[in-house]
Structure 1
């Protein structure tokens, strides 16, 4: 019998993958999401701002409608992507306003059947987390704080938030790791977009061949400061400084006791040199002996520049991810 994903690992897909379909509005957002459960995978991480018009204070009717429609297809929500509106146009909102903004989303997550909500690492802060802890315990929900891209463990931007989560010592406050942190090389199609966008070939070649060299990031920053990044690809270019990481799976070892979920971020499926599958194998090898229990969610970021079909891309990615995760886990056990 072929090795399988451990029963404690739950493969999911993010509704974020279907952003182009939701924006196109040829079907209702609810129909798009229920279609995921019908044809791809039954556990879905929900981006509610794309689906519920009443977000960030989701109405009971919208929440119930999606929950029931998913259940009819055998589907369910895993994690709900939450939001915090921290600032007015002139100042930071007081703690009570931030709490009042978040609580309806927590209650909607519970009503939807989700296991928790997701926030960016450090955004909530210890004071807000402490205030919501009683509600999290009452509803048996988890706040997952997400690290991704350049947010490496041990970095000055991330370490205080990780220490704060550790200090809480509460299984209802966990970390979600996006494996965009673990990129051995940049996506083939992304590099093609940069070339089409007018960046110098020697610069793109450096990105292609020396992504993990620290000097490459210096070159990225230098080009940005020079003002020579064409305006039409400026947003795409910023991925190099924010969304694409250069860490190794081994860098996650120290925070694994805090981790309750992963985003299996992918951009395209060009696996030259293992640029897609190797981080997954490394992750499988890391998780195999560490009794991980939680969700591993396919999340496609490449629709920013690709026109591929989200359903096809996600199906193919989940198949690749399962094989790579199992392969990494089995190889580690064999060692």
Structure 2
């Protein structure tokens, strides 16, 4: 039986998953991205315009309009557009707030033209001054700005906390938070550990990474390895995922910020679900979102193409199926628990009346 998700939950796929195909250029980027909808993988797609539009970061109307027409013809629509905010004019000269706004505005207009519901920036990058200037534009363009939290970031991080507090103080539904579940990793991807082993990472560190990822001491061991220059040079970039892109938080830590959250990236690296390392965070998230009455987009985003050569279409289809089942299972548990609690409260009330 098909797993049903609560109303208001929209499953989507990120064009980022097809990065290797876009780079290969055997088809145009527009053909690849509209193909996501045409093939029925997902009818709602999140865009990475730097991979899609040649005129980015100031996308031209003709290019954007042509893509929207092609996407609609394929039966698809756009959810969020990932924006870029280049804070520097040169290596030393920082853009003023007015110049940062000037850099961002063409991207906002392109997002509106392509029919997107929102745009995305890293959390805290815009800052209070720019957000104040952007707010009226978001209302005029009917867009939501999502500030993304991911990986090693978490709600208790001082910089993240300042940004969250500011978003909360604005009390504006046009400025929300997007959570990337790379924050919620009970264990490291099996295929990632295999890559480290093939590259010659020390056996004692590999053992720690495999069995004690969530132990804070493991983070210290990773940093020590980097500083000791024992990480094989060929995998320095890949190894840095341990410091930046892979998180250790639990879904329960999101509870306090959920009123600010309007979207999720369902980040996955591979589909080897040993010990539920892929599905368990999704089930926990589904239960939490079911309890809190979440509504918004949940987007499959594949980061494992950094080291895997798998077909992104196959990977995304399989992940969306797994994610829908896991999220639905969690949401159903929340519904069942709510019904049980309501029944218990009712019985308590009836007993109290009978005794009075």
Instruction: Provide TM-score, normalisation by structure 1.
Output: 0.99
State whether residues 3 and 325 of structure 2, in contact with CA within 8 Å, keep that contact through their aligned partners in structure 1. Answer: no
Aligned residue number for residue 66 of structure 2: 65
Which residue of the partner structure matches residue 142 of structure 1? 144
SS in 2 for 1:122: coil
Alignment partner, residue 42 of structure 1: 43
Q: Which residue of 2 aligns with 1:7?
A: 7
Query: What TM-score, normalized by structure 2, do the two folds share?
Result: 0.93
Q: Is 2:115 the partner of 1:113?
A: yes
Deviation at 1:91, TM superposition (A): 2.4
Residues 1:191 and 2:209 aligned together = no
Aligned equivalents of 1:297, 1:195: Cα separation in 2: 31
Alignment partners' CA distance in 2, 1:333 and 1:110:
36
1:172 is aligned to 174
Contact 1:120 1:146 in 2 (8 A): yes
Within a 5 Å distance, the mapping from 1:10-89 to structure 2 comes to 10-39=10-39, 40-87=41-88, 88-89=90-91
1:152 is displaced (CA, Å) by: 0.7
User: Structure 1 segments of 4 or more deviating over 3 A?
Assistant: none
* Distance in 2 (alpha carbons) for counterparts of 1:219 and 1:304: 23
1:111 and 1:307 mapped to 2: Cα distance?
A: 34
1:92-112 per-position Cα deviation (integer Å, ceiling 9, x unaligned): 210010000000000000000
Q: Identify if the C-alpha distance between structure 1 residues 333 and 34 changes in structure 2 by more than 3 Å, giving closer, same or farther.
A: same
Does the residue aligned with 1:37 lie in a helix, a strand or coil? helix
Distance 1:184 1:322, change over 3 A: same
Identify the match of residue 285 of structure 1 among 272, 282, 287. Answer: 287
> In structure 1, what is the Cα distance between the partners aligned to 2:29 and 2:204?
43
Q: Aligned equivalents of 2:100 and 2:137: distance in 1?
A: 15
> Distance in 1 between the 2:232 and 2:94 partners?
34
Which segments of 5 or more consecutive residues in structure 1 lack a partner in the other structure? Answer: none
The 2-side partners of 1:134 and 1:329 are apart by: 36
Cα-Cα RMSD: 0.8
Q: What is the distance in 2 between the residues matched to 1:177 and 1:309?
A: 26
Shift, 1:2, TM fit: 5.0
User: How many residue pairs end up in the alignment?
Assistant: 335
8 Å CA contact 1:148, 1:179 repeated in 2: yes
Give me the whole-angstrom Cα distance separating, in 1, the residues matched to 2:211 and 2:240. Answer: 19
Deviation at 1:157, TM superposition (A): 2.7
State the alpha-carbon separation in 1 of the partners of residues 93 and 215 from structure 2: 39
Contact kept, 8 Å, 1:34 with 1:69, in 2: the verdict is yes
Match of 1:99 in 2: 101
Q: CA offsets per residue over residues 26-80 of structure 1, 9 Å max, x none?
A: 0000000011001111100000000100000000011011111010011011000
Secondary structure of the residue that 2:172 maps to in structure 1? Answer: coil
| Structure 2 stretches lacking a partner, 5+ long | 338-356
SS in 2 for 1:264: strand
Other-structure match for 1:232? 234
Cα 1:2–1:308, aligned 2, differ >3 Å: closer, same or farther?
closer
Q: 1:128 aligns with which of 130, 149, 165?
A: 130
